[in-house]
A and B are shown apart, each in its own frame.
Chain A
Amino acid sequence: MTGQGGRPRGRQRLAALLPSAPRGGTAARTPFVLLVVVLLGSGLITLLLLNSALNQGSFELSRLERKTGELTDEQQALQQAVDAYSAPDELARRARKLGMVPGGNPAFLMPDGTVRGAPGPVSSSSTSLSASVEPGSLGPMMLRPSAPETPPASVLPPTSPAVRPAIGPLAPSTPGVPPSPGPLATPVAPASVLLPAAPPSPAGRPSALAAGPSPSASGR
């Protein structure tokens, strides 16, 4: 109110305005103040809780987002690794490393036991899709000497040019093979021995089977 001395006058005026203003006014003030304080306080606390809950949520969100990102990255990296392994080029390369060769003409075994197609053994270079694959693998290396010799052997006696192609594919392939001395020594010896005995072309086939135990199985 206005001045120090104006209180009784103000009270009177108020009383005049509100004739029923009781003396209970002083009595009811404490619970009212308490109510207001409680309301304010609880509102404040609620707001605080709400805020911290929201913050909590946003922390959780960013944590999960980061985790999702990491997992996505990992999934993509793994998928790329799988794709790289399952690419046809890579499969062919590793199959060759294991001594396998591409299959020959297709043949089918029908349910009634008949065979459709013309099955036959396969040598590494006579069949398809071999040339571009690196020669640094065991299987083709052992088989190769026998394969090129069949056509020239019938035409040419085992002269020095006939021996050279047998060694030719071997020489560059040695660095690719880890245990080089062992496998290198063995195929050279049978190849040079085989050549004079090779003129009939079917003879080349058993020699291939004998020379390479593992690749011969894959020829079927």
Chain B
Amino acid sequence: MTEPRDPRRVPRPARPAGRSGASRSPATRRPAVQGRPRPAGGTLRPVSPRPRLRLVALALTLVMLAFVVRLVQVQAVDAAAYSAKANENRYVPVKLAAERGAITDRNGVDLATTVDAYDITADPSLLAPDKLKIKDAPQQAAALLAPILDESREALAAKLDQPASRYVLLARQRTPQVWKKIKDLRKTLDAKAAAAPKSAPRPNVLVGIFADKHSKRVYPGGDLAAGLLGFVNGTGKGAGGLEAQLNKELAGKDGKLVYAQSGGRRVPTADTQEHPAVPGTDVQLTIDRDIQWAAQQAISDQVEKSRADRGYVVVQDTRTGQILALANAPGFDPNDLSKAGPDRLGNPALTDAYEPGSTSKLMSMAAVLEEGAASPYTRVTVPNRLHRGDRLFSDDVDHDTWHLTLNGVLAKSSNIGTILATGQLGTTQPQANRVLYSYLRKFGIGQPTGLNFPGETDGILAKPEKWNTSQQYTIPFGQGLSLNAVQAASVYSTIANGGERIAPTLVRGATGPDGRYVPAPAPAQSRVVSTKTATTLSAMLESVVDDDEGTGAKAKIDGYRVGGKTGTSNRVDPKTGRYHGYTASFAGFAPADKPRITVYCAVQNPTHGSYFGGQVCGPIFQKVMAFALKTLQVPPTGAQPPRLPVTFKPGE
């Protein structure tokens, strides 16, 4: 605008100057302009236009300069800051949630997996009477939603009837099908409202219902292996069990998508940055789902029957150290944690430390045999009472003097016989203690199992110098030291595996996001006793189950050679710290001459019926072992058992 006016204005003052040769007719001029110079008259000499021109030019230059400076500042100096500010609104970052990896059993059956779920929410203010022109909109909406959400109608109505509120959570973690049903219902209501005559508006009462998409962890087996698998917390992070231990692998890495938006829509031509989410690793456990189920059934039944505090069953593959089942009772359902008490959420088979009792006599016998202090045929005369240290020791039953072989001491589970036998480990008692201690350590007592399970206990095994007077005589028969169920099972697996201990493992392998299966690293191996000792011990353990005088007759499986040992120990009540009640246990493996499977069972504080390990846990061992042998298709070898002598006749 300024440009065309300027050239016209510039000649204006010049015109009076060129008065002499005026080429243009005055009629062309505008009257106002025409009138002005006239009163001035020819006497007034006009000012030269040049300074004014210069001034204007200068002003314009200054203005332009200011513009240029600002331009440079915006476009060059602060360009990054401004473009960042612009991008803040234009580019929308979206989190791409990584899918949590599945946990499967050894055959690839899902034990924990992730599915989509919706939290159903509502904006109650949209249902307010003055908005919808319906008085009982919340009640109507509640009546429609109650059957779909499986919630009580009154509770929903109360949640929706808060006209001042903008957000309520109606139901958590519903399936996509539920949300679809609500959407369909809303659509039909919309159609109805549209079809209704204008005079009677029928607004949609479901208008304020929304859904938030989440992912949900589901455990298809319910309480199957729940203690082992653990659970995830409200934010989807592992909070217990293997879910917590392997959280880093399972969680994967969240991705990010940044795209340009305009009015809420994605701009297709604008560039987008996408960092795809890295899905979590699928973890394969060594657990066999069916054996796990059988173990869990058996122990749950027995715990209920004995009205016991709790019980555990460990099933281990003797040749690989892999744990095939790790069952706890009572358990919980990780799909619905609200019903589980906090004391049930753990995995007591690994977190409980308790005194094993007679099942640990196997380690004492292993030490005695390996050190050459005795043989299975060594004769042990067992009196009714034995005075050692400050105490009088007895066996679980009152008896006349028994004439037992060392094999018989184990078969009849004689405490006195075990004290006498381990006394031969050294010339002095402290020396014998040190030898026994070294064997207990080699069997893994008082040491981490290597599973790295959250909350796992190492057990308690004091150094031999610190064993008190009675401890040095009770530790040989399993009191005065404590361990967890997996450690106990590992002791028997060691003997079953020919004296070589293989650290127990729970994870068999993992399938990474690239789809490649990576087997877990091989577990640590260490030799504890010689193969010969292990074979002898197996034969001795057979006497426990097989012999008429043995304590473990209930564990017998017809057609198989089974080796095992009962245990009935005084239990330390965790509340009072004093001995109260019993721990019944049984450990063993089969087939005894070519072992494949170890089963360990313990029941804490059975209060109803028998509390003896052979009575309480023997049948569980039998059931679980028979099931495992069938599942893994392990045939009996058909060889005859050696039948080592249990007693001897004095004087022969």
A interface with B by C-beta (< 8 Å): 2, 54-55, 57-58, 69, 72-73, 76-77, 80, 83-84, 86-89, 92, 103-108, 110, 114, 116-120, 127-129, 131-132
Q: Across the interface, which residues of B come within 8 angstroms of A104, CB to CB?
A: 626
Which listed residue, B176, B627, B636, touches A108 by the CB 8 Å rule? B636
**A106 and B626 contacting across the interface, CB-CB below 8 Å:** yes
Nearest chain B residue, comparing its CB with the CB of A128: B623
Q: Across the interface, which residues of B come within 8 angstroms of A116, CB to CB?
A: 559, 635-638
Assuming the contacts A108-B635, A117-B635, A118-B559, asked whether A54 and B269 have C-beta atoms less than 8 A apart, the reply is yes
Assuming the contacts A80-B218, A88-B221, asked whether A110 and B635 have C-beta atoms less than 8 A apart, the reply is yes
Q: Across the interface, which residues of A come within 8 angstroms of B626, CB to CB?
A: 104-106, 128
Q: Is B630 an interface residue when CB atoms closer than 8 A count as contact?
A: yes
Which listed residue, B175, B269, B627, touches A128 by the CB 8 Å rule? B627
Q: Is B98 an interface residue when CB atoms closer than 8 A count as contact?
A: no
Spot the interface stretch: B271-279, B288-296, B433-441, B453-461: B288-296
Assuming the contacts A88-B293, A106-B630, asked whether A57 and B268 have C-beta atoms less than 8 A apart, the reply is yes
Closest CB in chain A relative to B603 CB, distance in Å: 15
Which listed residue, A88, A107, A120, A127, touches B290 by the CB 8 Å rule? A88
Q: Report the separation of the CA atoms of residues A116 and B293 in the bound assembly, to the nearest whole angstrom.
A: 26
Q: Name the interface residues of B607-652: CB closer than 8 Å to any CB of A.
A: 622-624, 626-627, 629-630, 633-638
Q: Across the interface, which residues of A come within 8 angstroms of B110, CB to CB?
A: 83
Assuming the contacts A116-B559, A116-B636, A129-B627, asked whether A87 and B268 have C-beta atoms less than 8 A apart, the reply is no
Assuming the contacts A129-B294, A132-B297, asked whether A58 and B559 have C-beta atoms less than 8 A apart, the reply is no
Q: Across the interface, which residues of B come within 8 angstroms of A88, CB to CB?
A: 221, 224, 289-290, 293-294
**A77 and B176 contacting across the interface, CB-CB below 8 Å:** yes
Chain B contact residues (Cβ within 8 angstroms of A): what range? 35 or more
Q: Report the separation of the CA atoms of residues A83 and B294 in the bound assembly, to the nearest whole angstrom.
A: 18
Q: Across the interface, which residues of B come within 8 angstroms of A69, CB to CB?
A: 176
Q: Is B301 an interface residue when CB atoms closer than 8 A count as contact?
A: yes
Q: Is B558 an interface residue when CB atoms closer than 8 A count as contact?
A: yes
Which listed residue, B266, B289, B560, B627, touches A117 by the CB 8 Å rule? B560
Which listed residue, A2, A54, A106, A108, touches B268 by the CB 8 Å rule? A54
Which listed residue, B116, B301, B627, touches A132 by the CB 8 Å rule? B301
**B557 and A105 contacting across the interface, CB-CB below 8 Å:** yes
| Interface pairs (25), CB distance under 8 Å | A55-B268, A69-B176, A72-B116, A73-B180, A76-B115, A76-B176, A77-B176, A83-B220, A87-B224, A88-B221, A104-B626, A106-B626, A106-B630, A106-B635, A107-B559, A108-B633, A108-B635, A117-B635, A127-B623, A128-B298, A128-B622, A131-B301, A131-B305, A132-B297, A132-B300
Nearest chain A residue, comparing its CB with the CB of B627: A128
Q: Across the interface, which residues of A come within 8 angstroms of B290, CB to CB?
A: 88
Q: Across the interface, which residues of A come within 8 angstroms of B468, CB to CB?
A: none
Q: Across the interface, which residues of A come within 8 angstroms of B165, CB to CB?
A: none
Name 4 extra pairs, CB < 8 A, besides A89-B222, A105-B560.
A105-B558, A117-B560, A118-B558, A132-B300
**A120 and B269 contacting across the interface, CB-CB below 8 Å:** no
**B636 and A117 contacting across the interface, CB-CB below 8 Å:** yes
Q: Across the interface, which residues of A come within 8 angstroms of B622, CB to CB?
A: 128
Which listed residue, A73, A87, A107, touches B222 by the CB 8 Å rule? A87
**B635 and A89 contacting across the interface, CB-CB below 8 Å:** no
Q: Name the interface residues of B257-309: CB closer than 8 Å to any CB of A.
A: 266, 268-269, 289-290, 293-294, 297-298, 300-301, 304-305
Q: Across the interface, which residues of B come within 8 angstroms of A132, CB to CB?
A: 297, 300-301, 304
Assuming the contacts A83-B110, A117-B558, A132-B300, asked whether A73 and B268 have C-beta atoms less than 8 A apart, the reply is no
Q: Across the interface, which residues of A come within 8 angstroms of B269, CB to CB?
A: 54
Closest CB in chain A relative to B23 CB, distance in Å: 11
Q: Report the separation of the CA atoms of residues A83 and B110 in the bound assembly, to the nearest whole angstrom.
A: 8
Q: Report the separation of the CA atoms of residues A54 and B268 in the bound assembly, to the nearest whole angstrom.
A: 7
**B268 and A58 contacting across the interface, CB-CB below 8 Å:** yes
Q: Across the interface, which residues of B come within 8 angstroms of A92, CB to CB?
A: 293
Q: Report the separation of the CA atoms of residues A88 and B636 in the bound assembly, to the nearest whole angstrom.
A: 26
Q: Report the separation of the CA atoms of residues A87 and B297 in the bound assembly, to the nearest whole angstrom.
A: 13
**B177 and A77 contacting across the interface, CB-CB below 8 Å:** yes
**B218 and A128 contacting across the interface, CB-CB below 8 Å:** no
**B176 and A73 contacting across the interface, CB-CB below 8 Å:** yes
Q: Report the separation of the CA atoms of residues A84 and B115 in the bound assembly, to the nearest whole angstrom.
A: 14
Q: Across the interface, which residues of B come within 8 angstroms of A58, CB to CB?
A: 266, 268
Assuming the contacts A105-B559, A132-B300, asked whether A73 and B224 have C-beta atoms less than 8 A apart, the reply is no
Q: Report the separation of the CA atoms of residues A92 and B290 in the bound assembly, to the nearest whole angstrom.
A: 11
Which listed residue, A77, A107, A129, touches B175 by the CB 8 Å rule? A77
Q: Report the separation of the CA atoms of residues A98 and B360 in the bound assembly, to the nearest whole angstrom.
A: 44
Q: Across the interface, which residues of A come within 8 angstroms of B630, CB to CB?
A: 103, 106
Q: Which 7 residue pairs are nearest across A and B when measured between Cβ atoms? A: A128-B623, A117-B559, A83-B220, A118-B558, A118-B559, A88-B293, A73-B176
- Per-residue CB proximity of B192-226 to A under 8 Å, as 1/0? 00000000000000000000000000101110100
Nearest chain B residue, comparing its CB with the CB of A82: B220
Q: Across the interface, which residues of A come within 8 angstroms of B634, CB to CB?
A: 106
Closest CB in chain A relative to B229 CB, distance in Å: 14
Q: Report the separation of the CA atoms of residues A118 and B634 in the bound assembly, to the nearest whole angstrom.
A: 14
Q: Across the interface, which residues of A come within 8 angstroms of B298, CB to CB?
A: 128-129
Q: Report the separation of the CA atoms of residues A89 and B222 in the bound assembly, to the nearest whole angstrom.
A: 9
Q: Report the separation of the CA atoms of residues A54 and B457 in the bound assembly, to the nearest whole angstrom.
A: 62
Q: Across the interface, which residues of B come within 8 angstroms of A131, CB to CB?
A: 301, 305
Residue among A57, A69, A105, A114 facing the most chain B CB atoms (10 A cut-off): A105
Residue among A54, A57, A80 facing the most chain B CB atoms (10 A cut-off): A80
Q: Across the interface, which residues of B come within 8 angstroms of A120, CB to CB?
A: 558
**B297 and A129 contacting across the interface, CB-CB below 8 Å:** yes
Q: Across the interface, which residues of A come within 8 angstroms of B304, CB to CB?
A: 132
Nearest chain A residue, comparing its CB with the CB of B619: A128
